[in-house]
Amino acid sequence: MKVSEVIHIVLKGGIDLDKTEQSGQCFRWRYVEEGVYDIPAFGQLIRARENWVGLEIEVLSETKGSDEELWNRYFDTAVNYEKIRKMPDKNDKFLRSAAKNGEGIRIIRQDPFETLITFIISQRKSIPAIKTSVEKLCQAVGRKIPGTDVYDFPTPQEIIQLDSATLADCGLGYRASYIHATAAAFANGNMDMEKLSGMNDEELVDSLMTLKGVGIKVASCTALFGFHRLDFFPIDVWIQRALDAYYNGTFPLEKYHPYNGIMQQYIFAVRDTIDY
């Protein structure tokens, strides 16, 4: 693969690629070494490497022109995570500790359709199993990112061309029909990402939940990680256990508006350390 350019990105509050990759928001990053990942996104492949001010990005795919604006947006340079980590109430020792531990986690601005599909796949699956199914889906379509051996994420039109047997071979199980129906909704124009992007938070989630197999958890994750609605606080079994242990079952959302989603990521990152 030929390197076409190098982009330097400055990030307020820094980034820890390992912690971000392990935070359950993205499923296609490829580990190269500590602090270095190959990342397929938006039809391109980059190699992201941490440095003391942010990231050095090598563009590994064949691409035309500079994509500095794209990658600045993808890694959320506009948000100062250092300030957000200071938000937890001084009396909330758990959240203060989680935020400190979560230093370097950022909410990545992913493609909304890819985010939606991957979180439909994620239902009742472990993270390794999710990654395997996502890669099999990409391979089933078989379109590689130009100049690389990495498969691009499929479009809605490409997904609906896959038959049920092919989808089943991707390990999707009962989710196969959900994936096909969701792709069809976008391919035939019943759903439109531009229109969804223009909706307020409530309208966005309500619209997403009209899709087959999309409940509040998948809709909230898609809103947070695909549409960058940072106030969403998705609740899975791990988060609910933390809420039960430390907040009598309900997180104080009013305290951390408009960054509840980032607080959720800090809590998720320490899920294995919580004494339930």
Q: Give me the domain span that covers residue 213.
A: 112-222
Give the HSE-up count for residue 19: Cα atoms under 13 Å, Cβ half-sphere. Answer: 22
For residue 191, the model assigns a pLDDT of 97
- Is residue 74 within 8 Å of 48, Cβ to Cβ? no
**Do 209 and 233 belong to one domain?**
no
Give mean pLDDT, residues 173-192: 96
**Do 55 and 157 belong to one domain?**
no
In-domain check, residue 83: no
**Do 171 and 217 belong to one domain?**
yes
Domain termination residue (choose one: 200, 222, 244): 222
**Do 239 and 186 belong to one domain?**
no
**Do 61 and 130 belong to one domain?**
no
For residue 64, the model assigns a pLDDT of 61
Which one from 12, 19, 136, 217 is the annotated catalytic residue?
A: 217
Q: Residue 276: pLDDT above 90?
A: no
Q: How far is CA 166 from the centre of its chain?
A: 25
Closest CA to 132 of 32, 236, 53, 28: 28
Q: Write the pLDDT tens digit of every residue in 68-89.
A: 899 999 999 999 999 999 999 9
Q: Residue 44: pLDDT above 60?
A: yes
Q: Residue 100: pLDDT above 90?
A: yes
Number of separate domains in the chain: 3
Give mean pLDDT, residues 202-214: 97
In-domain check, residue 84: no
**Do 32 and 121 belong to one domain?**
no
**Do 270 and 253 belong to one domain?**
yes
Please confirm, yes or no, whether 217 is among the known catalytic residues. Answer: yes
- Give the pairing type, strands 36-41 and 5-10: unpaired
Q: Write the pLDDT tens digit of every residue in 137-152.
A: 999 999 999 999 999 9
**Do 133 and 209 belong to one domain?**
yes
What is the CATH number for 42? Answer: 3.30.310.40
Percent of the chain with pLDDT over 90: 91
